[in-house]
Amino acid sequence: MSDAQSLYGILNHSLVSESASDSNEMKADSIPWQLSRYQQLQFDRAVAKGRAAHKMMHASDSEAAAMFAPPRVTSESTFQSVDDLKDWGYLGDKFPAAAQSHVWDVLAKTIGTLETASSMHYEPQHYPALYHEQVFPYNKGTEHYEPTFAYFCQVINLAAGVLTAADNLSPIEVLARSGISAAHAPELKYWSDVAYLQWLMEVTRANSSAKLNYILRYDVTNRQTDEVVDLIHFRNDTETVVWPGQVYAAHSEDGLALLGTPNSPAYLLIQHKKGLGHRAVDKITVFKHETKLMMLFHITEVPQETREQTNEVKEDYEAESQQTHEVKEGCEEDTQILD
């Protein structure tokens, strides 16, 4: 079982029977519109995943590791070196974000207006785009792998601590489009791992101690994420608007639902505490640019007092898990970053 399958196994294991109980039925007078039972189940699934991810982000490494199914010794990913990219057949390139002018335009109009990003450089040359495509065949052990031509492109600004997911197509999705089993995908196949290695590459190159403060998911097209955003708007009688958009606290029900979507960066933070520090999503801004859906995840350091409560978090999680039921296989598709 892969790391991503392991994590999303426990996230899906958190789909509690409460989603089908009367206690979870939304009262008509508490929200502008009443969700159907199917819509409520969709929303509850996302909230349950987000709640588990929220707890794991705030837990220590060892405690987060214990929340995996099966439990692990560490929550850290096996991919910690930029050399892993080459080892798994990825060819890298780097070019100014001016080549991604559509991304730069969004960054300048959004994050560039935030007071917390006052150190941000406003020239596109300070926003290198790191691009890696899996173009080389490679051998791992006795297995031979052909390239998938999957690609990952992130635009990074270290001064403000911004990572923008600009253009990504995972190996799993490439294979799925060709009717090939995901078993043929390289182990290094998830956005969370590749994006971290690209961030690490830029930090190392600049000899920087920059903190990751923002992750912008640019032009979100993932169907599951789109549906969750639509359900949130349906519940609140709102719609996606231009910047500054709508802001959701990560611990709120709507925020947890967003953390439970395939476009959430929670897995990146859970699996890379050693390299990124003990950080977690604090809030999420949802907005549109032209007709494109954008999600800005605001990331902060986990307070020390929160870390000291992680034993309680673990106990709560285990108690919650005892009330859960298994869901049908296929949760791996939740980890595919399709945008």
Three-state secondary structure string covering the chain: CCHHHHHHHHHHHCCEHHHHCHHHCCCCCCCCCCCCHHHHHHHHHHHHHHHHHHHHHHCCHHHHHHCCCCCCCCCCCCCCCCHHHHHCCEEEEEEEHHHHHHHHHHHHHCHHHCHHHCCCCCCHHHCEEEEEEECCCEEECCEEECCCCCEEEEEEECCCCEEEEEEEECHHHHHHHCCCCHHHCCCCCCHHHHHHHHHHHHHHHCCCCCCCCEEEECCCCCHHHHHHHHHHHHHHCCCCCECCCEEEECCCHHHHHHHCCCCCCHHHHHHCHHHHCCEEEEEEEEEEECCEEEEEEEEEECCHHHHCCHHHHHHHHHHHHCCECCCCCCHHHHHCCCC
Q: Please tell me which residue, 80 or 117, carries the higher pLDDT value.
A: 80
Residue 321 banded pLDDT, cuts 50, 70, 90: very low
For residue 124, what pLDDT is reported?
A: 64
For residue 114, what pLDDT is reported?
A: 76
pLDDT in tens, 128-159: 889 999 999 988 888 888 999 999 999 998 98
For residue 317, what pLDDT is reported?
A: 46
For residue 336, what pLDDT is reported?
A: 41
For residue 311, what pLDDT is reported?
A: 54
Mean pLDDT to the nearest integer, 51-67: 97
pLDDT in tens, 212-245: 999 999 999 999 999 999 999 999 999 999 999 9
Please state, for a pLDDT cut of 70, what percent of the chain lies above it. Answer: 76
Which residues are CB-neighbours of 281 under 8 A, at least 6 positions away? 54, 57, 250, 259, 264, 265, 266, 269, 297, 298, 299
Mean pLDDT to the nearest integer, 311-323: 46
pLDDT of 316 higher than 90: no
Mean pLDDT to the nearest integer, 170-174: 96
Domain around 301: 1-339
Report how many domains make up the chain.
1
pLDDT in tens, 4-50: 444 444 444 444 333 433 444 444 344 456 788 889 999 999 999 99
Q: Please tell me which residue, 125 or 337, carries the higher pLDDT value.
A: 125
Mean pLDDT to the nearest integer, 292-312: 84
What phi-psi label fits residue 161: left (phi over 0), alpha (psi between -120 and 50 degrees) or beta?
left
